[in-house]
Amino acid sequence: MNKAARTGQRQPLAAGHRSSPAPRNRERPPADGGGAAADRLAAAGRSRARRRRGLLLATLAVLLSGAAVADGFWPSKTGAAGNSQDLLKADQAFRLVAAAREGDSLKVNWDIAPGYYLYRKRLVFQVVQPQGGRLDAPQLPKGETVHDEHEGTAEIYRNSLLATLHWPKGAAAPQQLRVNWQGCAEAGVCYPPQSRLVDVVDLGR
Protein backbone atom coordinates (compact mmCIF):
# COMPACT_ATOMS: atom_id res chain seq x y z
CA MET A 1 0.00 0.00 0.00
CA ASN A 2 1.43 3.32 -0.97
CA LYS A 3 1.77 6.28 1.24
CA ALA A 4 -1.27 8.13 -0.06
CA ALA A 5 -3.43 5.14 0.57
CA ARG A 6 -2.11 4.76 4.05
CA THR A 7 -2.67 8.37 4.96
CA GLY A 8 -6.11 8.64 3.31
CA GLN A 9 -5.05 11.37 0.89
CA ARG A 10 -6.57 11.47 -2.64
CA GLN A 11 -4.21 10.63 -5.41
CA PRO A 12 -3.87 13.29 -8.09
CA LEU A 13 -5.44 12.40 -11.44
CA ALA A 14 -3.23 11.53 -14.32
CA ALA A 15 -2.73 14.21 -16.94
CA GLY A 16 -5.50 14.29 -19.56
CA HIS A 17 -7.95 12.39 -17.37
CA ARG A 18 -11.18 14.19 -16.33
CA SER A 19 -13.47 13.12 -13.66
CA SER A 20 -17.00 12.22 -14.79
CA PRO A 21 -19.68 14.52 -13.39
CA ALA A 22 -22.13 13.04 -11.01
CA PRO A 23 -25.29 11.79 -12.78
CA ARG A 24 -28.24 14.23 -12.69
CA ASN A 25 -31.86 13.37 -12.38
CA ARG A 26 -33.51 14.50 -15.66
CA GLU A 27 -36.93 16.06 -15.42
CA ARG A 28 -39.59 14.02 -17.11
CA PRO A 29 -42.67 15.61 -18.71
CA PRO A 30 -45.94 15.01 -16.98
CA ALA A 31 -47.47 11.71 -17.81
CA ASP A 32 -50.33 13.35 -19.77
CA GLY A 33 -48.16 15.85 -21.72
CA GLY A 34 -48.06 13.72 -24.87
CA GLY A 35 -51.84 13.25 -24.82
CA ALA A 36 -52.48 17.00 -24.58
CA ALA A 37 -50.21 17.68 -27.55
CA ALA A 38 -51.99 15.02 -29.58
CA ASP A 39 -55.34 16.58 -28.70
CA ARG A 40 -54.13 20.00 -29.87
CA LEU A 41 -52.90 18.54 -33.15
CA ALA A 42 -56.20 16.73 -33.68
CA ALA A 43 -58.18 19.91 -32.96
CA ALA A 44 -56.05 21.87 -35.44
CA GLY A 45 -56.61 19.18 -38.06
CA ARG A 46 -60.40 19.30 -37.53
CA SER A 47 -60.36 23.11 -37.85
CA ARG A 48 -58.46 22.94 -41.14
CA ALA A 49 -60.89 20.32 -42.43
CA ARG A 50 -63.87 22.54 -41.54
CA ARG A 51 -62.28 25.49 -43.38
CA ARG A 52 -61.66 23.33 -46.45
CA ARG A 53 -65.28 22.11 -46.42
CA GLY A 54 -66.54 25.68 -46.07
CA LEU A 55 -64.39 26.85 -49.00
CA LEU A 56 -65.58 23.93 -51.12
CA LEU A 57 -69.24 24.67 -50.39
CA ALA A 58 -68.77 28.37 -51.18
CA THR A 59 -67.06 27.53 -54.47
CA LEU A 60 -69.83 25.11 -55.36
CA ALA A 61 -72.48 27.75 -54.64
CA VAL A 62 -70.72 30.24 -56.95
CA LEU A 63 -70.45 27.64 -59.71
CA LEU A 64 -74.12 26.73 -59.42
CA SER A 65 -75.11 30.40 -59.49
CA GLY A 66 -72.99 30.94 -62.61
CA ALA A 67 -74.61 27.92 -64.24
CA ALA A 68 -78.04 29.36 -63.50
CA VAL A 69 -77.22 32.64 -65.22
CA ALA A 70 -75.70 30.78 -68.17
CA ASP A 71 -78.96 28.84 -68.51
CA GLY A 72 -80.80 32.12 -69.03
CA PHE A 73 -82.47 33.00 -65.73
CA TRP A 74 -81.81 34.60 -62.38
CA PRO A 75 -82.28 32.64 -59.15
CA SER A 76 -85.02 33.71 -56.81
CA LYS A 77 -84.12 36.08 -53.99
CA THR A 78 -85.83 33.69 -51.58
CA GLY A 79 -84.33 30.54 -53.10
CA ALA A 80 -87.78 29.13 -53.90
CA ALA A 81 -87.07 28.35 -57.54
CA GLY A 82 -86.11 24.69 -57.26
CA ASN A 83 -84.02 22.87 -59.84
CA SER A 84 -82.92 25.05 -62.77
CA GLN A 85 -83.24 22.03 -65.07
CA ASP A 86 -87.04 22.16 -64.59
CA LEU A 87 -87.30 25.64 -66.16
CA LEU A 88 -87.79 26.42 -69.84
CA LYS A 89 -85.29 28.41 -71.86
CA ALA A 90 -86.31 32.02 -72.47
CA ASP A 91 -87.33 31.42 -76.10
CA GLN A 92 -89.46 28.46 -75.03
CA ALA A 93 -91.16 30.27 -72.15
CA PHE A 94 -91.82 33.42 -74.22
CA ARG A 95 -92.17 32.43 -77.86
CA LEU A 96 -92.14 35.39 -80.20
CA VAL A 97 -94.50 34.14 -82.90
CA ALA A 98 -94.39 36.89 -85.51
CA ALA A 99 -94.09 40.55 -86.36
CA ALA A 100 -96.57 41.18 -89.15
CA ARG A 101 -97.46 44.41 -90.94
CA GLU A 102 -100.84 45.02 -92.55
CA GLY A 103 -101.90 48.46 -93.73
CA ASP A 104 -100.64 51.11 -91.36
CA SER A 105 -100.25 48.85 -88.32
CA LEU A 106 -97.77 46.22 -87.21
CA LYS A 107 -98.57 43.44 -84.76
CA VAL A 108 -96.08 41.57 -82.56
CA ASN A 109 -97.37 38.40 -80.96
CA TRP A 110 -96.07 36.16 -78.13
CA ASP A 111 -97.16 32.75 -76.92
CA ILE A 112 -96.40 32.56 -73.19
CA ALA A 113 -95.99 29.13 -71.61
CA PRO A 114 -98.17 28.19 -68.60
CA GLY A 115 -96.51 29.22 -65.35
CA TYR A 116 -94.65 32.18 -66.92
CA TYR A 117 -95.43 35.86 -67.47
CA LEU A 118 -94.08 38.98 -69.20
CA TYR A 119 -93.67 42.43 -67.66
CA ARG A 120 -95.50 45.22 -69.47
CA LYS A 121 -92.96 47.88 -68.52
CA ARG A 122 -90.07 45.83 -69.91
CA LEU A 123 -91.44 45.80 -73.47
CA VAL A 124 -89.47 47.97 -75.90
CA PHE A 125 -89.86 48.21 -79.70
CA GLN A 126 -87.32 49.92 -81.96
CA VAL A 127 -87.06 50.23 -85.74
CA VAL A 128 -83.77 48.88 -87.13
CA GLN A 129 -84.64 49.02 -90.83
CA PRO A 130 -85.07 51.44 -92.41
CA GLN A 131 -82.49 53.41 -90.46
CA GLY A 132 -83.92 56.35 -88.61
CA GLY A 133 -87.39 54.82 -88.55
CA ARG A 134 -89.64 55.63 -85.60
CA LEU A 135 -92.66 54.16 -83.89
CA ASP A 136 -95.53 55.68 -81.96
CA ALA A 137 -96.22 54.46 -78.44
CA PRO A 138 -97.24 50.78 -78.55
CA GLN A 139 -100.86 49.81 -78.00
CA LEU A 140 -100.95 47.09 -75.36
CA PRO A 141 -103.90 45.27 -73.76
CA LYS A 142 -104.64 45.71 -70.09
CA GLY A 143 -102.62 43.23 -68.09
CA GLU A 144 -102.88 41.64 -64.66
CA THR A 145 -101.57 43.59 -61.68
CA VAL A 146 -99.42 41.51 -59.34
CA HIS A 147 -96.85 42.02 -56.61
CA ASP A 148 -93.68 39.97 -56.99
CA GLU A 149 -90.30 39.96 -55.29
CA HIS A 150 -88.41 41.28 -58.32
CA GLU A 151 -90.48 44.29 -59.47
CA GLY A 152 -92.85 44.95 -56.61
CA THR A 153 -96.25 45.99 -58.00
CA ALA A 154 -96.23 45.33 -61.75
CA GLU A 155 -98.54 44.73 -64.69
CA ILE A 156 -97.96 41.38 -66.38
CA TYR A 157 -99.23 39.23 -69.25
CA ARG A 158 -99.91 35.51 -69.11
CA ASN A 159 -100.66 32.97 -71.86
CA SER A 160 -100.33 35.38 -74.81
CA LEU A 161 -99.67 38.99 -75.77
CA LEU A 162 -100.49 40.96 -78.90
CA ALA A 163 -98.82 44.37 -79.22
CA THR A 164 -100.00 46.75 -81.94
CA LEU A 165 -97.52 49.29 -83.34
CA HIS A 166 -97.95 52.33 -85.59
CA TRP A 167 -95.42 54.63 -87.23
CA PRO A 168 -95.72 58.35 -88.03
CA LYS A 169 -97.62 59.33 -91.16
CA GLY A 170 -95.36 59.81 -94.15
CA ALA A 171 -92.59 57.66 -92.60
CA ALA A 172 -91.39 54.46 -94.25
CA ALA A 173 -92.97 51.29 -92.92
CA PRO A 174 -90.74 49.25 -90.58
CA GLN A 175 -88.97 46.29 -92.17
CA GLN A 176 -86.98 45.05 -89.18
CA LEU A 177 -87.48 45.58 -85.44
CA ARG A 178 -85.46 45.11 -82.29
CA VAL A 179 -87.81 43.80 -79.61
CA ASN A 180 -86.83 43.76 -75.93
CA TRP A 181 -88.75 42.07 -73.14
CA GLN A 182 -88.35 40.41 -69.76
CA GLY A 183 -90.39 37.78 -67.98
CA CYS A 184 -90.45 35.49 -64.98
CA ALA A 185 -91.48 32.02 -63.94
CA GLU A 186 -94.04 31.64 -61.20
CA ALA A 187 -91.59 29.22 -59.57
CA GLY A 188 -89.69 32.28 -58.36
CA VAL A 189 -87.04 33.16 -60.94
CA CYS A 190 -86.72 36.07 -63.37
CA TYR A 191 -85.07 35.77 -66.76
CA PRO A 192 -82.48 38.38 -67.81
CA PRO A 193 -83.78 40.97 -70.29
CA GLN A 194 -84.13 39.47 -73.77
CA SER A 195 -83.44 41.23 -77.08
CA ARG A 196 -84.20 39.92 -80.58
CA LEU A 197 -83.95 41.22 -84.14
CA VAL A 198 -87.22 40.46 -85.92
CA ASP A 199 -87.94 40.74 -89.62
CA VAL A 200 -91.35 42.22 -90.32
CA VAL A 201 -93.65 40.17 -92.56
CA ASP A 202 -95.76 42.25 -94.93
CA LEU A 203 -99.21 40.63 -95.07
CA GLY A 204 -100.39 43.09 -97.73
CA ARG A 205 -98.26 41.53 -100.47
Residue 125 lies in a domain: yes
Residue pLDDT, tens place only, 15-47? 444 545 555 555 555 555 556 766 777 777 676
Q: Cis ω on the peptide bond leading into residue 168 (within 30° of 0)?
A: no
Domains in the chain, number: 1
Which domain CATH number covers 92?
2.60.40.1250
Q: Burial, 121: exposed, middle or buried (Cβ in 10 Å; 0-12, 13-18, 19+)?
A: exposed
Render 83-101 in DSSP notation, one character per residue.
Answer: -GGGSPPHHHHEEEEEEEE
Q: Which domain holds residue 193?
A: 84-202
Residue 107 lies in a domain: yes
Residue 173 lies in a domain: yes
Residue 47 lies in a domain: no
Residue pLDDT, tens place only, 165-184? 999 998 899 999 999 999 99
Please state the pTM of the whole predicted model.
0.60
Specify whether the CB–CB gap between 84 and 185 falls below 8 A.
no
Residue 54 lies in a domain: no
